[in-house]
């Protein structure tokens, strides 16, 4: 069993970006600038956004963090987005999800200019992904593709089961794994809460990508020997023995599943850091697109 080390791979990618940023600066070009909007104080979201800002510093990007109160109105948030759309200094920006219930996530996604949508959530960018046109791939699926690519994992002709059909991970992931690209050419089954006899699919799968947010959902008996498992889940579970008061659990029962795998991502240190590396890649791409 080989661990797919997202932390190391993400550091490799960030090192590559650092060199490119230094080249841009040496040529007197603009320093890439990423902005992030966060609404409210959700603990996990604050941690993720701070990690994104830290990654910007590491690669030499400029960053702007826009912190908004939990009770901001939808109109005021849309106005902030429009300001970033029109700010030439900002090359790309993201709105951290989830948003408070009184804000319509779809309206927000649609409001972000597709040229600055480095999260790849805008329908125009998702549509371009489906058509294999140049676009910003959604950060987590892009990170998973990078990880599979950099470990030279053969995907062509394989049976891939994606568990979970979220707009930001499961659905785009299922499309990417079926595309006619180096990482791709799988026969994909997208499973979800209404899937009957899930185990019948997972047992046959060569590659399983789990993005449910249900801790330790995928158990040893559900997978075959030699499977490649990508665990997108990262749930905080109360743990009084930890200084933080919680520990992080993936969607995979690691102790049972890992011994059966050819490759598996750990949690933490697997998909999470790759999401951030992808965001950096997309931001650099936004600058190059200009
Ligand atoms: N919330 C969970 N994952 C993501 C992500 O990739 N981007 C944004 N903006 N919010 C998220």
pLDDT digits (tens, 9 = 90+) for 234-281: 999 999 999 999 999 999 999 999 999 999 999 999 999 999 999 999
Pocket probe for ligand 1: among 35, 40, 97, the residue whose CB has the most ligand atoms within 8 Å is 97
pLDDT at 159: 98
Mean pLDDT of 82-109: 98
pLDDT at 99: 97
Residue 275 Cβ inside 6 Å of ligand 1? The answer reads yes
pTM: 0.97
pLDDT-derived band of residue 214, with 50, 70 and 90 as boundaries?
very high
pLDDT tens digits along 10-44: 999 999 999 999 999 999 999 999 999 999 999 99
Asked if residue 250 lies in contact with residue 233, where contact means CB atoms within 8 angstroms, the answer is yes
Residue 139 Cβ inside 6 Å of ligand 1? The answer reads yes
Pocket probe for ligand 1: among 44, 48, 232, the residue whose CB has the most ligand atoms within 8 Å is 48
Mean pLDDT of 198-222: 98
Residue 276 Cβ inside 6 Å of ligand 1? The answer reads no
Residue 119 Cβ inside 6 Å of ligand 1? The answer reads yes
pLDDT at 117: 98
Question: What residues does 246 pair with on adjacent strands?
Answer: 238
pLDDT-derived band of residue 113, with 50, 70 and 90 as boundaries?
very high
Asked if residue 261 lies in contact with residue 228, where contact means CB atoms within 8 angstroms, the answer is yes
Active site residue 96: yes
* Closest ligand 1 atom, residue 275 Cα: 6
Average pLDDT, the chain: 97
Q: How far apart are CA 32 and CA 27, in angstroms?
A: 13
Q: Reply yes or no on domain 139-272 having CATH 3.40.50.720.
A: yes
Buried b vs exposed e over 258-283: b needs ≥16 C-beta within 10 Å?
A: bebbebbbbbebbbbbbbbbbbbbbb
* Closest ligand 1 atom, residue 119 Cα: 7
Nearest C-alpha neighbor of 32 from the set 67, 63, 65: 63
Asked if residue 112 lies in contact with residue 120, where contact means CB atoms within 8 angstroms, the answer is no
Q: What would be the CATH architecture of the domain defined by 28-113? A: 3-Layer(aba) Sandwich (3.40)
Residue 36 Cβ inside 6 Å of ligand 1? The answer reads no
pLDDT-derived band of residue 118, with 50, 70 and 90 as boundaries?
very high
Starting at the edge strand found earlier in the chain, the sheet holding 33-39 runs 62-68, 33-39, 92-95
Residue 58 CA to ligand 1 centre (angstroms): 20
Pocket probe for ligand 1: among 95, 138, 168, the residue whose CB has the most ligand atoms within 8 Å is 168
Among residues 5, 91, 117, 119, which one is catalytic? Answer: 119
pLDDT-derived band of residue 217, with 50, 70 and 90 as boundaries?
very high
Counting Cα atoms < 13 Å in the Cβ hemisphere of 5 gives: 7
CATH 3.40.50.10860 in the chain is located at 28-113
Reduced 3-state DSSP string for the chain: CEECCHHHHHHHHHHHHHHHHHHHHHCCCCCCEEEEEEECCCHHHHHHHHHHHHHHHHHCCEEEEEEECCCCCHHHHHHHHHHHHCCCCCCEEEECCCCCCCCCHHHHHHHCCHHHECCCCCHHHHHHHHCCCCCCCCHHHHHHHHHHHHCCCCCCCCEEEEECCCCCCHHHHHHHHHCCCCCCCCEEEEECCCCCCHHHHHCCCCEEEECCCCCCCECHHHCCCCEEEEECCCEEEECCCCCCCEEEECCECHHHHHHHEEEECCCCCCHHHHHHHHHHHHHHHHHHHC
pLDDT-derived band of residue 154, with 50, 70 and 90 as boundaries?
very high
Phi, psi at 209, each rounded to 5°: -120, 115
How many other β-carbons are positioned within 10 Å of the β-carbon of residue 161? 28
* Closest ligand 1 atom, residue 36 Cα: 9
CATH 3.40.50.720 in the chain is located at 139-272
pLDDT-derived band of residue 66, with 50, 70 and 90 as boundaries?
very high
pLDDT tens digits along 131-151: 999 999 999 999 999 999 999
């Amino acid at each position: 069993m080989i661990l797919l080390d997202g932390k190391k791979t993400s550091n490799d990618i960030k090192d590559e970006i650092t060199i490119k940023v230094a080249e841009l600066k040496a040529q007197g070009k603009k320093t890439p600038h990423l902005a992030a909007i966060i609404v409210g104080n959700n603990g996990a979201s604050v941690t993720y956004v701070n990690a994104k800002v830290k990654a910007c510093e590491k690669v030499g990007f400029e960053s702007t963090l826009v912190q908004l109160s939990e009770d901001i109105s939808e109109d005021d948030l849309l106005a902030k987005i429009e300001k970033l759309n029109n700010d030439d200094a900002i090359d790309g920006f993201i709105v951290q999800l989830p948003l408070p219930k009184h804000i319509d996530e779809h309206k927000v996604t649609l409001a972000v200019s597709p040229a600055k949508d480095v999260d790849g959530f805008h329908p125009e960018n998702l549509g371009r992904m489906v058509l294999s046109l140049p676009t910003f791939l959604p950060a987590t699926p892009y990170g998973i593709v990078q990880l599979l690519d950099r470990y030279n994992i053969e995907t062509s002709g394989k049976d891939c089961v994606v568990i979970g059909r979220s707009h930001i991970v499961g659905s785009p992931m299922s499309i990417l794994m079926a595309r006619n690209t180096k990482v791709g050419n799988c026969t994909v089954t997208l499973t979800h809460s209404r899937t009957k006899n899930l185990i019948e699919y997972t047992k046959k799968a060569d590659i399983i990508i789990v993005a449910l947010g249900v801790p330790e959902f995928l158990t040893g008996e559900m997978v075959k020997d030699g499977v490649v498992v990508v665990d997108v889940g990262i749930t905080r579970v109360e743990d009084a023995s930890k200084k933080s008061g919680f520990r992080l659990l993936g969607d995979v029962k690691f102790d049972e599943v890992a011994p059966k795998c050819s490759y598996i991502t750990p949690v933490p240190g697997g998909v999470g850091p790759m999401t951030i590396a992808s965001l950096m890649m997309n931001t650099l791409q936004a600058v190059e697109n200009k």
